Chains A and B, each alone.
Chain A
Amino acid sequence: MSQLLEIKNLSVDIMSTRGLIHAVRQVNLDIEQGIIHGIVGESGCGKSVTAKSVMRLHHPRTVRIRGEIKFNGVDLLSLSEREMQRIRGREISMIFQDPMSALNPLFCVGDQIAEVFMHHFKDSRAAAKKKALELLEQVGIHPAQTRYQQYPFEFSGGMLQRVVIAIAVAAKPKLIIADEPTTALDVTIQAQVLELLKQLQKELNVSIMIITHNFGIVAELCDHVSVMYAGTVLETGRKRDMFRHAVNPYSRALIESIPKTGHAGQRLTTIPGTPPELFDLVDGCPFAPRCDFASDICWREKPLLAPCAGMQAPQGRLEAEGESPSGLPEGAHSAVEIGHLAACHNCCCGKEAQG
C-alpha cells in the first residue's frame, strides 16, 4: 500500500516560560492510504504536538518544527502559508477533543458545515446547504432539516462531535487527524462516535490518524498503532502484533497495566518512576531510567526504529540473565509480521540497525 503521510526526522521544540521543551524528537512515522492509524501514549508524550505539526497549527514564533512531513509526496513544511491553507480542511482535516469549543457558538450548526463547501468548492449558498443537509443525515443527526438551524448550545456533546466530524469529512479529505475525539464523551456516546468514524472511514476510504491515550479505542478502531513516549516513537506496527507481541518493554507494560475483566482484585503491572521532563535532550533510550531491562547501551545510545522480525519474550530478560540475544531460537521470529518496527536495544532489530 502506498504511504499517504510520511513523517521523517520530525523534531518540534516549544518555547515556554520554563525553557525550551523538546516535545517531539526525531520522529519517523508513516501512515498508509485508507487505514486508521492510532498514536497512543501517555500525556506529554508528544502525540498531539506531532498531529498539530502535520496541520502546521503551531505558532511559528514559539514553536520550531524541523524535519520533513511528506503528504502525497509534498513536503508540507516547505509550503507557504497560502498553499498550506488550501491543504487544511481540503486534503487534511482535524477533529478536536472538545466539540463545544471547536464550533462557533454564534452560528447555527448547518451553516458551519455549509461554509466548508462554500469555501473549498465555491458552491452557491443553496447548493452548500443541500450538501450540508445530506451530510447531517450521513453522520446520524435527525431530523436534519430542523437540526440544521440549531446552535451548538442546543446539542449534546455527542451530537456536537458528530457535527465536528461532518465538517471534517465535508471536503472529502484524504487524511483526518482526530485528536482524542472521544475523551470528553461518556462511554455509551463514545461507542456511537467510534462506530460512526469506522463507518465513515469505510465509506469514504479516507485515512484516519487517531491520537488517544486509551488502548481500548486503539484495539477497537485502528489498523496500525504507534506507541509514543517522551517525544519519540518506541514501537509501531499492526494492531494485532502490538497487542499480542509488543516488543518494547514500555508498550508491553502499558498494555499490561490496563485492568482486565476476570482479574479482579489482583495487582496491576505498573511502571516505576515518572515520565521525564522534556527540557533536556538525552543520548540514551528515553525509557531507560524506568526500564527493568536497561543495560549500558540503553543509557548511551538512542535506539532507532528498525524492522523487528519478532520477539516472544522480552529479550532483555534473557540478556539480564547473561545470555546473548543471538541465543534466541529462530522460530520465535515468525510470530510477527513484517512492518513491525521497534526502537529498543534489547531486541535483535535494534542491533541489526546499528550493526
Chain B
Amino acid sequence: MSNSAQPVCIETRHLKKYYPFKNGKTLKALDDVSIAVTKGTIFGIVGESGCGKSTLGKCMMRLQEITEGSVIFQGEDISRKPPKKMKQTLSKMQMVFQNPFSSFNPKLKISYSLREPCRINGMSPVQTDDRIGELLNYISLSENELNRFPHELSGGQLQRLAIARALLLSPEFIVADEPVSALDVSVQAQILNVILDLKQAYHMTMLFISHDMTVVEHICDEVAVMYLGTVVEAGTTSVVFKNLLHPYTKALMSAIPSVEAMGEGKQRILLTGDIPTAVDVPEGCRFASRCPDCMDICKKESPVLLTVEAGHQVACHRYPAGGEHKQA
C-alpha cells in the first residue's frame, strides 16, 4: 500500500486474531489483515462496532496476543517477541483512548502524571520541563491546568493532555482509539486541529481508529475500511474518497447524516438488516448478506484485496484488479 518514498513504520502481515469459544465456535475478530503505516502519516481505520478495528490497534501494540500472522515494527517482527523484551519496544508506541476522563489517574495532579513517565524513562528534570512546555504550546493549555486534578478539567482539555502525554517520550507510533468519539463537535474540532498540528510539528505516525467517515477523511492520509474483521477497501484517502467502490463503504458514507445535504436530494443507500457477528462467518464475502448488489460468486468465494487504481484497493468481486466494473 505504501508506494511513497517514505519508509514504513509499522505493518501487519496476514494478521489473524481468533477467539475460540468453549462450544467449538470461533470469533474471527481479525481475519487476514495486512496494512502498512508509512512514517509521518496518519492511517485511518474506519468501521462499525464489532468490525475489529480496536482489536487491530491492540494487536499492533501487542496488548493482545496474536493468533497468526506478524506485526513488523521498524523492520523487526515483534509478533513473537517475549514480554520482557517487548517493554523496550512498547515505549516507542503510545496510545490515546476514547474516554479522556479515565485516561488519567484521578488521584494525581496532571503535572505528576506527565512528569513521572519522563523520570522513569531517564529524562532529566530540565529536559522534562522543556518537553512539557513545548507540547503545552501545541495543545494551547497553560501551566495552570497542569496543577489541577483530572476531574477539574473538561473532556476536551483532558484529551489534549492525553495526546500530549502520548507524545512525551517521542514515540515512533501512536494508536488513537476513537479519540474524538466521546466529545462534542466543537471539542472534536479542537482535538482534530491539535492532531494535525502535532503531525506537522513532530512528523508523528498515527493509527487513527474511528467510526466516523468524515473525521477520517478530514485528518487521515491513508485509510482502511473494515467490515467483520477484514479490510474491504483501502488506499490513499484522497483517492479512495473521490471514488468509493465497495458497496459497504458507499453505504457507510451515505448513511452519515450530512449537514450540507440537509436531507434533500441525496440518494441514500439503506442497508437492510443488522451487522452480523464475526462468529462462524459463512463462506464467501462477509458482506454478502447485506450487500445491495450481491452476485452468485459472492456467496461462494471470499474476495481478496486487489489494486484497482494507483493508491486504491478493494475487496469485491465486482472490481477485479485494475479492471472493469462487472455488471450484475
**Interface pair A259/B255, CB less than 8 Å apart:** no
Interface string of A243-267 (1 = CB under 8 A from B): 1000000000111011111011111
**Interface pair A239/B262, CB less than 8 Å apart:** yes
Q: Give the contact stretch, choosing among A79-87, A213-221, A292-300, A302-310.
A: A213-221
**Interface pair B274/A158, CB less than 8 Å apart:** yes
Which one of A43, A189, A266, A274 lies within 8 Å of B274 (CB-CB)? A189
Range for the number of chain A residues in contact with chain B = 35 or more
A-contacting residues, B200-255, CB 8 Å: 211-215, 217-219, 237-238, 241, 251-252, 254-255
CA distance A268 to B157 in the complex (A): 17
Q: Which residue of A lies closest to B262 (CB)?
A: A219
CB neighbours of A240 from chain B (8 A):
262
**Interface pair A43/B184, CB less than 8 Å apart:** yes
**Interface pair A270/B190, CB less than 8 Å apart:** yes
Q: Give the contact stretch, choosing among B86-94, B263-271, B311-319.
A: B263-271
CB neighbours of A216 from chain B (8 A):
256-259
**Interface pair A257/B189, CB less than 8 Å apart:** yes
**Interface pair B275/A219, CB less than 8 Å apart:** no
CB neighbours of B252 from chain A (8 A):
187-188
CA distance A220 to B189 in the complex (A): 21
Q: Which residue of B lies closest to A290 (CB)?
A: B186
Knowing A259-B218, A274-B154 are in contact, say whether A219-B48 is a contact too (CB < 8 A). Answer: no
Does any Cβ of A come within 8 Å of B49's Cβ?
Answer: yes
Q: Is the interface of B mostly helix, strand, loop or mixed?
A: helix
Does any Cβ of B come within 8 Å of A190's Cβ?
Answer: yes
**Interface pair B271/A192, CB less than 8 Å apart:** yes
CA distance A243 to B254 in the complex (A): 20
CB neighbours of A189 from chain B (8 A):
48, 274-275
Knowing A213-B184, A259-B218, A274-B154 are in contact, say whether A269-B189 is a contact too (CB < 8 A). Answer: yes
Does any Cβ of B come within 8 Å of A144's Cβ?
Answer: no
**Interface pair A187/B263, CB less than 8 Å apart:** no
Does any Cβ of A come within 8 Å of B120's Cβ?
Answer: no
CB neighbours of A192 from chain B (8 A):
270-271
Q: Which residue of A lies closest to B259 (CB)?
A: A219
**Interface pair A274/B156, CB less than 8 Å apart:** yes
Most buried by A among B157, B262, B268: B262
Question: How many B residues touch A, CB cutoff 8 Å?
Answer: 43
CB neighbours of B219 from chain A (8 A):
264-265
**Interface pair A255/B184, CB less than 8 Å apart:** no
Q: How far is the CB of A180 from chain B (nearest CB, A)?
A: 13
Q: Which residue of A lies closest to B140 (CB)?
A: A272
Does any Cβ of A come within 8 Å of B328's Cβ?
Answer: no
CA distance A231 to B190 in the complex (A): 23
**Interface pair B262/A264, CB less than 8 Å apart:** no
Q: Which residue of A lies closest to B156 (CB)?
A: A274
Q: How far is the CB of A172 from chain B (nearest CB, A)?
A: 25
**Interface pair A220/B275, CB less than 8 Å apart:** no
Q: Which residue of A lies closest to B188 (CB)?
A: A257
Does any Cβ of A come within 8 Å of B261's Cβ?
Answer: yes
Does any Cβ of B come within 8 Å of A159's Cβ?
Answer: yes
Which one of A219, A258, A266 lies within 8 Å of B261 (CB-CB)? A219
CA distance A148 to B219 in the complex (A): 45
CB neighbours of B270 from chain A (8 A):
191-192, 195
Known: A221-B257, A258-B214. 5 other contacts (CB 8 A): A192-B270, A195-B270, A220-B261, A265-B219, A267-B196
Query: Hey, which bits of chain B sit against chain A, CB under 8 A?
Result: 48-49, 154, 156-157, 184-190, 192-193, 196, 211-215, 217-219, 237-238, 241, 251-252, 254-263, 268, 270-271, 274-275
6 smallest CB-CB distances across A and B, nearest first, come from: A216-B257, A191-B255, A257-B189, A268-B189, A42-B184, A259-B218
